[in-house]
Amino acid sequence: MKPENHRLVASILASLVVLDVVLAVWGFAFPELWFSVFHGAAYVDPQGYLPRAAGNWTAFAILQALAFLRWEKAPHWLAVVAGVRLSDVFTDLSCMIFCENLSGAGLVLLSAAGLGNVFFGLYFLYIHRRVASPPLL
């Protein structure tokens, strides 16, 4: 793999770590702002789904940070990140379909997140296939 491709992978991983840290902090610390931006509504979440999502983003950030540190020597971390990204595809779509209130910003951001998760999930599977040892069978 060319050095510039290594830098690209590292840059994307670092960017995803930052994104998920921002989402986690936003969800845990500023839920009223989250609901205002994404739903155009007051913060009402008696079942705690936003903190639950923030917990997922925290896990995503940790796994992606580990991948950032380890992927060149342990390429399987790229497959882990692909799984992380792809596991979040249907959460954004589900929110868009089932939530009672969705702002214009929420529609744009959730759509972008869903498409981004598909793209980056497939990208990391592709890169993993290129840098990992070929299967034995």
> Which residue blocks in the chain are alpha helix, DSSP H?
3-29, 31-39, 49-70, 76-87, 89-98, 104-131
Torsion of CA 115, 116, 122, 125, to 10 degrees: -160
Across 10-29, average pLDDT: 98
**3-state secondary structure at position 3:** helix
Tens-digit pLDDT profile for residues 34-48: 999 999 999 999 999
Across 7-15, average pLDDT: 98
User: pLDDT-based confidence at 136, cuts 50/70/90?
Assistant: low
pLDDT above 80 for 137: no
Token pair for residue 94?
């589900």
The pTM assigned to this predicted structure is 0.92
pLDDT of the residue at 30: 98
pLDDT above 90 for 133: no
pLDDT above 90 for 125: yes
Give the chain's mean pLDDT.
Answer: 94
Upper half-sphere CA count for residue 15 (Cβ side, 13 Å): 8
